[in-house]
Amino acid sequence: MRAKQSQNTAKTTGNRILAIAFLFVVWMLVIIGRLYWLQVARHDYYLAKARENQQMRLETMAARGAIVDRNDKDLALSVLFDSVFVDQRLLKDDDARRNVARLLSPVLEISEAELVKQVTGNSGFVFLARKVEPEKARAIREVVAKNSIRAIGFKKEMQRYYPNESLAAALLGYVGGENKGQGGLEQSQNDSLDGKSGSIELERDGRNQAYERRETPAVGGATIKTTIDSAMQHKVETLLTEAIKRHNAKGAYAVVMDVTTGEILALANAPSFNPNERPKSKDEDRHNRAISWPYEPGSIFKMITYAAAFEEGKVQLDEKLNCGNGEIRFGPRVIHDTHAYGVQQTPDAFAKSSNVCAIRLAQRVGKERFAEYISLFGFGNKTGIELPAESKGIVRPAHKWNFDSIGSVAMGQEVSVTMIQIAAATGAIANKGVWVQPHVIKEVIRADGRVTPTKPVTRRVVSQQTAENMSVLMQRVVTHGTARHAIQLANYTAAGKTGTPQKAERGHGYARGKFMPSFAGFVPATDPKFVIVVMVDEPAGAHQGGSVSAPIFNMIAQIALGDFVIPPDAKGFRDALAALSDRYESKAAEDEANETRLEQNIALTQPETVNALPSPQNAMPRELLSQNIAPDAGRKQPKPTPTPRPNVIPASSGPSALMPDLRGKGLRSVIQACSQLSLNVRPTGSGVVVKQWPAPGARVRPGEDCKVEFQ
């Protein structure tokens, strides 16, 4: 019996041991499984959670590159501002959140209730205020430091700033909320301007104290150096704004381009907008219409018609053209001139802007060849200027022309062009037949100092002889044609073409009473430096290119010639200058001979003591010698023995010269002209000279004052 009980006890004990062992094994398997789950299967997840708790990563924004003008003056730059953020995880309870809201509400100028909502949550990094003004940021820092608020931090962020406000705004564009360029150079050059962001990584302990810091520095964006002259840009924009007021127009636009390089010196749109206050601006004011708005050019396009005819040998400069008494017929359609012109020499037919003569020349060329020249001059294609939203215009291929299209196209209808295309085409004529790609970027300067200059595309479109013939025709427009009353550049020649296109309305033909008068030309005509294109949109009253846009061209030309100190080229001025030079040289030779005789007379009449004078560096001036005055004349001296004086020719203040005409010139040009005559400039006002004294042509001598009034 006892043996049986002992056997049962041993069996029970064994079962218990087995059960315990089984439970232990199961427990171990559960632990191992759990460890496997945590450390293997979910390793990446929990590692990321650990890093989230132990590390803090802040992205540092790269400084956006600056945009400067050709003289390195800032047009757009980035300024550092403080942004305030909260780490919500460090505010564990409602009391802490309410306390932070109470302390920061006055300085952040946000209600306590709103602040409580913003600091509540587990999302961690949340901005409370972006790009805070310096004074406000300083006040917030003081509150945070004084109350040891660990949950509040500061991050440096960039704010784009345009120091000249609306100057060249359509060309520059602006920067949106995500620091991305919108419009203009800000958009087209965003990748270069943006730079590469950096980061700051902080390792934190259980008390949330940083014990290690790793920083990857940001790489700043490139500097875009433009071809724009900000002083000229400002003056052109001012002229356009005044033109809008004077003519009660919807807008006015202008392009100023260097003839040989294709550099855009001014690209102006009026009205404009202030990119610093972009939300307040109108959408239409932000458009760069000088490059994005195609319009029918009207008579300006006759430059292409005549150039094609010259190049194809279909017309001669001295040829007499029959203008058909101002009428030409295409089936039922009759095209008229403004006057019933009969036979005209080629320059006069162009200067009077005869539609009939232009059409007959286009017919001589033929529509296929004419269309090729249109394309060669750049119409129907983008110029490639470094700006977004450039339009290529509208030019139909020749095989799609109607029976009368050659008549329309020859006088600038049935085609749409942009002002930048007109500038480039006019520049090809001014540049001896070579088309140069217009561009607004001079060079890109990388953060590491590498410089990438712009290399514009060039191509020959017509021969030099054709370009010279066209220059003769375009000068005739200024001297005897449709712009003869508007272009008055003293001592400079100019060349150009007027246009008075009627405004086309989609699906409704031409808008009655709505015009876009324009003028395209270059100065000086004999040695072109600047191409200038002007267009005014819907002026009230006068609407001809010669009476509305040509005067603006005239004023812009005065500014450009004066600011860049371009020598006058008019034949009359050159002849007068040559005669003046001859008289000056003759007078200088006479003065030199008189001075030589005077020195000889003085040498013969000086007392012997003169030979014992000190060394040359301490010698007395000649005028003192001629008066027998000793160097120490300030002391009491015995009365000298009178010495016979020779017949001395009175000293002259210098040869006289003719006063040049300074009207219409800038300050720099005035200073240069006056310094050549040793005159003292006395300027008043700013802008260009409107009044001067002495008057042009008056005789002046070195040392006289030259008073000029600018406006």
- In the predicted structure, residue 645 carries a pLDDT above the cut 60: no
pLDDT tens profile 165-182: 999 999 999 998 777 899
Q: CA torsion, points 456, 460, 465, 466, in degrees to nearest 10? A: -100
**pLDDT of the residue at 641:** 38
Rounded Cα distance between 393 and 159, Å, is 36
* Six token digits for residue 404: 């009368």
**What kind of fold does domain 57-226 have according to CATH?**
Penicillin-binding protein 2a (Domain 2) (3.90.1310)
Q: Could you tell me which of 624, 627, 633 has the C-alpha nearest to residue 645?
A: 627
Q: Mean pLDDT across the stretch 184-208?
A: 80
331 touches 404 (CB < 8 A): yes
- In the predicted structure, residue 611 carries a pLDDT above the cut 70: no
- In the predicted structure, residue 638 carries a pLDDT above the cut 80: no
- Count how many Cα atoms sit within 13 Å of the Cα of residue 585 in the half-sphere of its side chain: 5
What contacts 381, CB < 8 A, 6 or more positions away?
A: 375, 392
Q: Mean pLDDT across the stretch 40-56?
A: 71
**pLDDT of the residue at 54:** 66
CATH code 3.90.1310.10 region(s) in the chain:
57-226
* Six token digits for residue 224: 């875009």
pLDDT band at 620 (very low <50, low <70, confident <90, very high): very low
Which of 77-91, 321-335, 412-426, 645-659 is the least confident region? 645-659
**pLDDT of the residue at 625:** 29
The runs of H, that is alpha helices, within 464-570 are 464-480, 545-563
**pLDDT of the residue at 587:** 63
689 touches 662 (CB < 8 A): yes
- Report CA-CA distances (Å) from 195 to 63, 139, 198, 388, 449: 7, 31, 10, 20, 14
**pLDDT of the residue at 642:** 39
pLDDT band at 359 (very low <50, low <70, confident <90, very high): very high
* Helices 355-365 & 302-311 angle (0-180, nearest 10): 40
* Residue that wins the pLDDT comparison between 54 and 641: 54
Pairing verdict, β 198-204 and 181-182: unpaired
Rounded Cα distance between 171 and 644, Å, is 77
pLDDT band at 1 (very low <50, low <70, confident <90, very high): low
pLDDT tens profile 679-711: 888 887 767 787 888 888 788 888 788 888 876
CATH code 3.30.10.20 region(s) in the chain:
570-588+651-711
* Six token digits for residue 98: 């309410």
CATH code 3.40.710.10 region(s) in the chain:
230-563
CA 635 to chain centre: 66
DSSP per-residue letters across 226-249: ES--HHHHHHHHHHHHHHHHHHT-
- Report CA-CA distances (Å) from 289 to 507, 531, 626: 21, 18, 72
* Six token digits for residue 691: 């009044």
* Residue that wins the pLDDT comparison between 7 and 565: 565
- Report CA-CA distances (Å) from 678 to 561, 579, 592, 624, 703: 22, 19, 19, 25, 6
What contacts 96, CB < 8 A, 6 or more positions away?
A: 151
pLDDT band at 314 (very low <50, low <70, confident <90, very high): very high
Q: What letter does residue 679 receive in the DSSP assignment?
A: P
Q: Could you tell me which of 692, 685, 683 has the C-alpha nearest to residue 662?
A: 692
Most confident by average pLDDT, 280-289, 361-370, 609-618, 634-643: 361-370
Which of 12-21, 189-198, 309-318, 426-435 is the least confident region? 12-21
pLDDT tens profile 230-267: 999 999 999 999 999 999 999 999 999 999 999 999 99
pLDDT band at 5 (very low <50, low <70, confident <90, very high): low
Which of 130-139, 227-236, 454-463, 693-702 is the least confident region? 693-702
Amino acid at 189: Q
The CATH class of the 230-563 domain is: alpha beta
pLDDT band at 24 (very low <50, low <70, confident <90, very high): confident
- In the predicted structure, residue 402 carries a pLDDT above the cut 70: yes
Pairing verdict, β 680-684 and 705-710: parallel
pLDDT tens profile 67-98: 999 999 999 998 888 888 888 888 878 888 88
Q: Mean pLDDT across the stretch 212-225?
A: 82
* Helices 302-311 & 464-480 angle (0-180, nearest 10): 140
Tell which phi-psi region holds residue 47, choosing left (phi > 0), alpha (psi between -120 and 50) or beta: alpha
* Six token digits for residue 198: 């950096």
pLDDT tens profile 94-119: 888 888 888 888 898 888 888 888 88
pLDDT tens profile 472-510: 999 999 999 999 999 989 889 999 999 999 888 766 678
* Six token digits for residue 685: 């006002």
531 touches 423 (CB < 8 A): yes
**pLDDT of the residue at 590:** 67
- Write the CATH number of the domain with boundaries 570-588+651-711: 3.30.10.20
Q: What is the mean pLDDT of the chain?
A: 84
